[in-house]
Amino acid sequence: MQKFMGAIIILMCVFGGYVWAGGSMMAIWQPAEFLIIIGATVGSLIIGNPPQVLKEMRSQFRSILSPHKDEQAFYMELMALLQVLLETVRSGGLKPSTNTSKIQNKARFLTVIHW
């Protein structure tokens, strides 16, 4: 769902920005050109790669589109790390220091990450 929404946002921003700048959508809509570009891309991809690579690409493409079971936990962990980082910046920043007490305080970043 996230990847689908990201693609929608990209398309809306690209085409919306084009129209906002005064462009005409009819100038962009060229079905023959889309067919030529997509056909050349897929054809060269098939010609330039062995069957094992194409099978691996297909399986990776399917895994990109399928939801991951621990994706939400990863993003929650990432948000926790971002919160710790922002709190550190607000409280005085990330300045290089040789003071060991400051270095030990920075070790709290490692407690957030569980990779």
Phi, psi (rounded to 5 degrees) for 66: -85, 145
pTM of the complete model: 0.44
Closest CA to 77 of 67, 85, 88, 89: 85
CA distances to 4, 45, 93 from 113, rounded to whole Å, are 28, 38, 20
pLDDT digits (tens, 9 = 90+) for 10-59: 989 998 999 999 988 888 888 898 899 999 999 999 999 999 999 999 99
> 98 Cβ partners below 8 Å, 6+ apart?
none
Query: What is the residue-averaged pLDDT of the chain?
Result: 81
Distance CA 115, CA 110 (A): 10
Which of these, 6, 5, 2, lies nearest to 72 by C-alpha position?
Answer: 2
At 84 the pLDDT is 86
DSSP 8-class letter at 96 = -
Torsion of CA 8, 71, 64, 59, to 10 degrees: -160
